[in-house]
Every structure is written in C-alpha cells, then in structure tokens.
C-alpha cells in the first residue's frame, strides 16, 4: 500500500456503536466495571490507556513500520521518558547538530542523575566509532539535522551502534515517515515531535516513540509512560490522528514550494549560504537519494552580515510569520540563535524557515522584497 492509503487506513475507524465515520473523543478518565467487578472493555484509567491514544499509537506504529507506538504529551516528554528507561552509569551518544532540547535534557536532568553523554558529528563516522564506550546504550541521531540540515547515514550509524551493543534512535520529526523510515534502515527506535508535521496545524503539542521490537526495553518505556504520565489528552490524540490523514499531501506540497524557495535564495546576491537537501550543491546528495524520498520542507539561510542583518531581513517580511516551531500549514521564519540563547552554536546570520502551504510565487516575492 502507498503511504497516503496507509495513513488514511491507519487513522480511520468508523465508531462501532454509532456508525460515526469520525471517531468520538473519549474524555473519560476512568472506565466502569460490571457486577462481577470485571472491566467491561480493555480500558481501566486514561493515564495507562485511552481509546483515542490507543488509536493514535497504533497508527504511529503502522506509519513507521514498528511493532509498538507510544504517544506522549510533547516531543520532550517522549525523549525524557526514553532516557528515564536507561540506568545511571549508562552512556549516550548524541548528534552535535540536534534539536537543542535533546542535549539540554541530558545536561540539565540526566547528567546529575548519572548518565554520561558525548556529542559527536554524526556525519564523521570515524568519530562516531571512536566515541562508543563499553557502557554506550543509546546513539541519538537526528536527520536532516537542526538547523544545518546535514544528513546522517542511518544504516551505517545503526550498524556502529549495534556493534557496540547500543540501540540507535532517530528523531524523525523533520523528515516524517513520508520521506524517511528509520526502522527500515536498521534503527531501533523512532522519536517524533508530533507538534510539527504529523499534526500539521501548529495547534497541538505531542510526542511519540515507535519501537521496532516490542521487547523488554520497549515494555520498560511503556511502563514509565503509564507510571509517570507524560501523556497527551484524548483531544490532542484526536487532533494528531486527524493531522496524519493529510500528512502525505501536505508534505509533498510544502516540499515542492521549499524547493522553489531554496532555488530562489541560492545564488541571491544578499545570501551567503542556503542549507537545503534538495540543492544540487548539498554535500550529502548520494545519501539523500539513498535514504530519503525527498528533501523535505525545512531550510536554513545565512544572509550576508551578522545577527543585525538577519533580524532586519525578517523584520521586513509580510507573509512569513516570525515564530519558532515548524511543520504547520503557515510559513514560519526564526532567528535560531536568539531562541537558543547564549550557549547556541548556530551561526548568528542564520534563519530557519518552515515552508507552509502558501503559493510559492507569493513567498518568493515576499523574500525578494525583504532582501532588496
């Protein structure tokens, strides 16, 4: 089955009691027992499970080709719960260029708690190999990376992780399963911020983990999800399931516009550099062709000058909204270094762009007037 059909099939269940084509939202926190004190259905209490969450988790596992999916209240809650399943003394390898919250959790929460970690450029495979320790349990990849859109060779990094006895996790938020299926590239776990493309409308926060195998480690994470309760509300699950129905069409349309915008910016006299996997000068072209079905709808642009020039440029934009986050139907632009703060390693003249569903010609005209 093609992805679009799979996405519809995975999120569409007519309600068996009413025939409603759209599933109801089950707000109940608790579920009744019969005269013999037996539960009347498979649910007990909404923290461990709820019909809307179960439907979303099953859909997520289907889309990523995994054995089991788990939904969380945010991407960070998913990362937090996965890291909590490790033990003090374990070591984690994390990409240098990654969503800033991932190493921030390692540094601020898990380092004091006894985890050690090393940051490494995932495109330097020798460095990845050298950085594996005896106690390395997890290798955390994110590709395309944030915000420089470098590509990690998932098949090779997963092999290096397995050789060292570690699990390989891929944050697949930017690519989505439309463009990249890490479990088919031998990764063990996929992580998502469903706040982004999967929900797609910048109106719900969520996170997800999908495990290739429903093994002891996956069950440990499942039990932490239920015990610690960083779970999404039934309404949030319903919204994310609704977003998944249009993921394929949204991604293809946004990607075509991102390609046109990147082509326009690349070579513009006011632009120093464009980072976009769809440009012919991207250093990882071969890898992109091998592991992705397309370059995605995120790009970064470095304008001539520094922070002042970058901020002056985005101040003149009329169609792009100046805001953090990504993956919605409206185009967003942000000065990443301002958001990440003083410890940021992001170039001061870099702007991260999330392309939405506006017409490419209108977005390009807006960029052209602001760069003039």
Ligand X SMILES: *Cc1c(COP(=O)(O)O)cnc(C)c1O
Interface residue list for ligand X (CB under 6 A): 74-76, 99, 101, 142, 146, 171, 173-174, 193, 195-196, 205, 207
* Closest CB 66 distance from ligand X, rounded Å: 18
Q: Which of 4, 47, 242, 263 is catalytic?
A: 47
Contact criterion met (CB below 8 Å) for 164 and 116: no
Q: DSSP secondary-structure letter at 93?
A: E
Q: Which of 97, 123, 153, 171 is catalytic?
A: 171
Nearer to ligand X, 81 or 146 (CB): 146
Backbone φ and ψ of 275, nearest 5°: -105, 110
Residue 124 annotated to the active site: no
* Closest CB 356 distance from ligand X, rounded Å: 15
158 vs 140: CA distance, rounded Å: 10
* Closest CB 176 distance from ligand X, rounded Å: 11
* Closest CB 98 distance from ligand X, rounded Å: 7
Length of the chain: 372
Nearer to ligand X, 43 or 174 (CB): 174
Contact criterion met (CB below 8 Å) for 79 and 101: yes
Nearer to ligand X, 232 or 294 (CB): 232
Nearer to ligand X, 141 or 367 (CB): 141
Nearer to ligand X, 271 or 351 (CB): 351
Nearer to ligand X, 61 or 170 (CB): 170
Q: Which of 53, 90, 97, 99 is catalytic?
A: 99
CA torsion angle 11 204 86 161 (round to 10): 70
Nearer to ligand X, 230 or 287 (CB): 230
- Within the chain, residue ranges assigned H as helices are 3-11, 51-64, 75-84, 101-105, 111-113, 125-130, 154-163, 176-179, 216-228, 234-245, 247-265, 285-291, 307-315, 336-340, 360-371
* Closest CB 193 distance from ligand X, rounded Å: 3
Residue in the shown chain whose Cβ atom is closest to ligand X: 75
Q: Which residues pair with 117 in a beta bridge?
A: 92
* Closest CB 163 distance from ligand X, rounded Å: 26
Nearest of 190, 207, 172, 163 to residue 56 by alpha carbon:
207
Q: Which of 53, 196, 212, 222 is catalytic?
A: 196
CA torsion angle 53 58 63 64 (round to 10): 100
Residue 47 annotated to the active site: yes
Residue 242 annotated to the active site: no
23 vs 19: CA distance, rounded Å: 9
* Closest CB 113 distance from ligand X, rounded Å: 20
153 vs 333: CA distance, rounded Å: 28
167 vs 132: CA distance, rounded Å: 12
Question: How far, rounded to the nearest angstrom, does the alpha carbon of residue 151 sit from its chain's CA centroid?
Answer: 14
Residues marked as catalytic: 47, 99, 171, 196
């Amino acid at each position: 089955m093609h992805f679009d059909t799979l996405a519809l099939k995975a999120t569409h269940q007519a309600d068996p009691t009413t025939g409603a084509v759209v599933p109801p939202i089950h707000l109940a926190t608790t579920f009744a027992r019969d005269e013999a004190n037996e539960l009347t259905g498979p649910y007990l209490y909404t923290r461990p499970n709820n019909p809307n969450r179960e439907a979303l988790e099953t859909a997520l596992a289907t889309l990523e080709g995994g054995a089991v999916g788990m939904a969380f209240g945010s991407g960070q809650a998913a990362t937090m719960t996965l890291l909590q399943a490790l033990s003090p003394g374990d070591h984690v390898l994390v990409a240098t260029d990654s969503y800033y919250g991932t190493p921030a959790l390692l540094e601020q929460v898990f380092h004091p708690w006894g985890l050690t970690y090393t940051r490494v450029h995932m495109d330097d495979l020798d460095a990845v190999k050298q950085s594996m320790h005896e106690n390395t349990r997890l290798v955390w990849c994110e590709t395309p990376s944030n915000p420089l859109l470098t590509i990690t060779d998932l098949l090779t990094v997963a092999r290096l992780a397995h050789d060292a006895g570690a699990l390989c996790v891929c944050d697949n938020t930017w690519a989505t399963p439309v463009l990249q299926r890490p479990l088919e590239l031998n990764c063990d776990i996929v992580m998502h911020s469903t706040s982004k493309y999967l929900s797609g409308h910048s109106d719900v926060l969520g996170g997800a983990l999908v495990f290739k195998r429903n093994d002891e480690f996956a069950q440990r994470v499942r039990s932490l999800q239920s015990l610690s309760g960083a779970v999404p509300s039934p309404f949030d699950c319903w919204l994310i399931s609704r977003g998944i129905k249009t993921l394929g069409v949204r991604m293809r349309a946004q990607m075509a516009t991102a390609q046109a915008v990147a082509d326009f910016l690349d070579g513009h006299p006011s632009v120093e550099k464009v980072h976009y996997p769809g440009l012919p000068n991207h250093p990882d072209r071969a890898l992109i062709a091998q592991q992705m079905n397309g370059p995605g709808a995120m790009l970064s642009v470095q304008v001539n000058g520094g922070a002042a020039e970058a901020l002056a440029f985005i101040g003149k934009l009329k169609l792009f909204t100046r805001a953090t986050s990504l993956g919605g139907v409206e185009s967003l632009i942000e000065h990443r270094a301002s958001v990440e703060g003083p410890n940021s390693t992001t170039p001061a003249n870099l702007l991260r762009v999330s392309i939405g569903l506006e017409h490419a010609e209108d977005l390009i005209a807006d960029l052209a007037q602001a760069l003039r």
